[in-house]
Structure formats: C-alpha cells, structure tokens
A and B are shown apart, each in its own frame.
Chain A
Amino acid sequence: MRHRRRTWIPGLLLISPSLILLAVFVYGLIGWTVNLSLQDRHNARPAKGYVGLDNYTKLFTSDINDRFTHSLKNLLVFTLVFMVGTIVLGLIWALLLERRAKAEGFWRTVYLFPMAVSFVASGVVWRWLMNTGEGDNAGGINAIFHGLGLGFLESPWWTDPDWGMAAMAVPAIWQLSGYVMALFLAGFRGIPEELREAAVVDGATTFQLYRQVLFPQLTPTILSALIITGHMSMKMFDLIMSVSGAQWLTEVPAVYVWQTLLTRDYAKAAAISVFLLLIVAVVVVPYLIHVNRSEKRS
C-alpha cells in the first residue's frame, strides 16, 4: 500500500499548478460573479449590500420590454438553426466523403477551412453577403437569387423581426459544418469494418446499410456534435457584434451582458452571465457525468 501511495503523489503534484489555476480562474471567478450578482452594485462604486435573488427575478419581471426574455428567444432560434444546420450539412459532407472520394484531402480541407477564420474576419464579408437590399437594389446573396430569377428567395436576413436570428446562424453554420463533418468522418471510420461486411453479405442496400447498421453506431458522435455546437452557440458574441453590432434585433444574452457592462450595471451583468452559465451547466454536466460513467464501464 505504501508503495502505491508513493506512486500517485507525484502525479497529483505535477497537475496541482493547473488545478490551482483552474480553481481560481474558473471556480473562484464564477463564485465571485455569483456573489456580485446578489448585490446592488449598479455602478462603479462599491455595493451597498446584498439583495438576494432580486437581480435575477428582475430579469424576468421588470426588464424593460422584456429585453432579457427577448434575448433568450433570440438565442433559442439561433441555437436550433445553428445546431440543425451544422449537423445536417456536416453529415451530408461526411457521407459524400466517407467512402474514400478522389482527392479527399482537397474536399476536406476546403470544407474545413472556414473554421480557421475568426468570426470577426468572416463577419466583415457576411455583413455584405447578407445585404438586405432586394430587387434591383439587391446585393450579396440576394443579388445571386435575383440574378438567377429566384427573387422569392430574397430575404431581409437578420433584420427580419421574427426569423432574423435564423439568418444570423448562417455564417456560423458556414464556419462550423466542416468541424461537424470531421467528427462524423471519425465516427464512420471508428465503426468496425466487419459490421459493414456482414451487412453487405446479408444483401443490404446502401440505404439499409446506413440506416440500420452505421447510423446507430454514430449516436455518441451526434451527441458530441450537439454538445459542442450547443455550447458554442450559447457563447456567441463575436459573430453578432461584427455582423449587426449590438442592437435589439439580434441581441442574445452574451451581447446583453456586454451592453449592460457598458452602462456600468455590474450586478445585472453578473446575473445574466450566471444565468447563461446555468443553462450551459444544465446540459453539459449530465453529459460529462455520462461520459465518465460510460468510460468506466468500458
């Protein structure tokens, strides 16, 4: 027993600096933010005292124009479109490339390259592509639709009051579908070859092969893709700031935090941040526990 203890102590020592850093910078600062969110610090001067959960309840009861609820709605639309979009497109690309296409490396690199670009840089061009002019004034993608005689497809993009956030997800889908494709490719290649062979010997059609044999094997991949795209979308800030700037139409909680900080309402900004963290935690923590358990089982 003594020998075993000796062997794990150095391991703990080696990672302890990281643990301390993360304890401070992740959990410590979260604690600090939570603490701040319970106080009445609505300007740069020190707080006068604690107000319980007031800052949270006010977000839902007395926020002017229900601004916070509106930002949550925007986030929901954005998240759904973004997740479905990247997964559908990523899956299609993975299917096209899965059985060793010619020049596979080329296709893969092209599909993946948007991921290398920052949202700030791609925002510069997407602002143009999603130009809202229509008809003869059309620019960007609308001009292509117009030119192709598909005028009915022309869209006000992100300025549409109801579905604007769906348009805002388009650049994000462009950016991250390649990543999801890569996840699916890995998933496909992780499926034992015998499974395919057995199915083929049984006389399965291509469709049946995918539907009944391969897709069920991809559940963990899809789960990863959902978690990764989902948590990215919760944090979405750069893209919105560079395409539309901070404004009502496209406000999500991450942007709202920024706007609130600008007007020096620190406690309210903290409350929104913590709420955002809670949404992420509700999804991610069970997932991490699930991953942990299934690893132990195997």
Chain B
Amino acid sequence: MSTETVAATAPAATAPRRGGPAPRQGLPKPVARTIRYGLLVVFVLIVLMPLYVLVVTSFKSGREIGVNGQWNLPETWTFASWAKAWTALGPSFGRTFQLAIPVALISSLIGAANGFVLSRWRFPGADVVFTLILFGMFIPYQAVMIPLRDVVSWLGVAPGIPTLVLVHTVYGIPICTLIFRNYYATIIPEELIEAAQMDGAGLLRTFRSLILPVSVSGFVVTVIWQFTSSWNDYLFAIFLSNTRNGPITIALNALAGAQSPDYAAAMAGALITSLPTLLVYVLLGRWFIGGMMAGSVKS
C-alpha cells in the first residue's frame, strides 16, 4: 500500500492526467458545474476571511481600529502600524531565520541518511527501530519539556536560538526519516542497491553518489516542513527562550498580548510573522502537497 501515497509524493505535479469515460452525472452538467465552482468560491471567501481582517486592520489608525468596524476598509491607509510592528519584531525576525534554516537543512540531511538506511540498507530489527523512531513524532512535547531545560543547559548549549536549533533538529528527525524512507522506497529500485553492494561500493559512497543526487524532491518536502514547523513553533520557544533571545512567535505574542494592545500593530505583526512561511507555501506548495501526503503515516 505504501507505494500509492508515495507515488503522489514530490513528483505529484507531473502525475499523468486522467482521461477515460466520465461517470453518468446525476445533474445536468452546467448545473453541476455551477454548484461546484460556486462552492469553491464560497469556501475561498471563508478561508480568506481572517486574512482580510488582518490586512485591513493593519492599515487602520486611531479610532478606526476596533472590533466593531472590523469589516470596513480603512478610511485612511497608514503604514504606521507596520513600522511599529517591525520595530517590535525585527530582531526576532532575523533570529528566526537563524533558527529555521539550520534546522531545516540539518534535520533533512539526517532524515535522508536514516530514510535511505531504513528503506534499502536494512539491518535486523530495522522495523522495530523504525517504529520507535516514528513514535517520537507523536509524543506530546510536554512529556519531555520539564527535564529538557536541564539537559540542554547541562550539555552547555547556549540559551535561545542554539538550544532551539538542537531541539527542533532532534525532534524533527522522526518525520524527516519517515518522509525519506517512503520516498526512497519508491524511487530507488532494489536492484540498484544490490548492484552497488556487489560492486563493493560502500554505503556512504552509494548514498552520496547514487542517492543524494535524486533526492531533491524529498529535500524540498522536508526542508519546507521543518522550516515551517520551527518557524511557527511556540511551545518549545516559550519554554526554552524569551523575548530577548527567542524566535518571532514569542515577540508576536508579547506584541499582541500587551496590556493596552495596539490591535493594528498586532495584526501587522501577525502578517510579518507569517510572511516567510506563506511565501514558501505559495511558491512551493505544489511540491509540498505531494510531500505532506508522504509525511502522513499511511498503511
């Protein structure tokens, strides 16, 4: 069963178009089509509704800001709140890149190596090991959070971003391993590995010269996944960092949760916070959708 989901992995975009006979329709075609696209539009409006409120509020000023007139367009457009939000979030914005980029790259690389071994270069008990790794993906992090602080400070990792890089990388290993394992299980023919083994090519050489070059699509998926989840994380951030040395979610929460919150600045801040991950989704979403499917544990 594993093949079908993985077939839709990264190369999903190039999946062959379906032809074949159409089923008998219950409704006349134009009516069905109107309903279908009507629904699609309605859902788009619903999904975009929060985004609309965010955008219009962020450009409002003074008395216009308020729950009551929140659906109205701004009478006067101003960038003041954006400037204010940027002042509050700027430093942590940079820090979050320093967090999310290393996390995405390192955990993807580790995941690729693990995935390769577990899919094609198996060892006795590999299934049990794989299950144990996977379980790490599902644990509620509260169950490790209390001692985690002590362990990282005992290890001598600096508080703030370095600590968070370590933690996100480690807890990202399970999902990256899973994605690459499923990916390699479909794209690499068994014979290729056997040939390499016969050839006497070492594992590392096989991995480096045969496997890595065809792993780009897998990397796109894990990099995006890890980038977004470490960018958006709040739980680890609030336990292991603070507004001074932490990522942007902490700074945004401080901005939005202030005693006399400036709602326009909070909304502008929410948009600034979401911009990088949104860009990733809009530009690479196509490849990602396929990848997420592989990311799901399927049977």
Contacts and interface: CB of A to CB of B under 8 A. Distances in A.
Interface of A: 7-12, 14-15, 17-19, 21-22, 24-27, 29-30, 32-33, 36, 92-93, 96-97, 100-102, 105, 107-126, 128-129, 131, 133, 137-140, 143-144, 174, 178-179, 182-183, 185-187, 189-191, 193, 196-197, 199-201, 203-207, 209, 220-221, 223-225, 227-228, 231, 234-235, 237-238, 241-242, 245, 253-254, 257-258, 261, 266, 269-270, 272-274, 276-277, 280-281, 284-285, 287-292, 294-296, 298
Interface in B259-299: 263, 266-267, 269-271, 273-274, 277-278, 280-282, 285-286, 289-290, 292-293, 296-299
Most buried by A among B253, B286, B299: B299
B134 to A, nearest CB: 6
Main secondary structure of the interface of A (DSSP, over half): helix
B29 to A, nearest CB: 11
Contacts of A280: 138-140
Pairs of residues from A and B, 10 with the lowest C-beta to C-beta distance, nearest first: A139-B67, A190-B4, A118-B232, A186-B293, A29-B144, A8-B123, A11-B121, A10-B203, A121-B270, A116-B281
A269 B270 contact: no
A33 B23 contact: no
A125 B299 contact: no
Contacts, number: 332
B21 A10 contact: no
A294 B299 contact: yes
B234 A117 contact: no
Chain B interface size band reads: 35 or more
A261 B146 contact: yes
Nearest to A275: B143
B50 interface: yes
B17 interface: yes
A125 B121 CA distance: 48
Nearest to B207: A14
Contacts of B132: 22, 27
Interface string B42-53: 011001111001
Given A197-B20, A206-B25, A14 B204 contact: yes
30 contacts: A8-B122, A10-B121, A10-B204, A12-B117, A12-B123, A14-B113, A14-B114, A29-B148, A100-B18, A101-B36, A111-B47, A121-B249, A121-B271, A124-B267, A124-B270, A129-B49, A139-B68, A139-B70, A140-B67, A174-B47, A178-B47, A197-B21, A206-B25, A220-B298, A227-B297, A231-B138, A241-B253, A242-B256, A274-B143, A294-B1
Contacts of B136: 22, 26
A107 B267 contact: no
Interface string B29-72: 00000001101100110011110011001000000001110110
B23 to A, nearest CB: 5
Nearest to B261: A124
B199 to A, nearest CB: 12
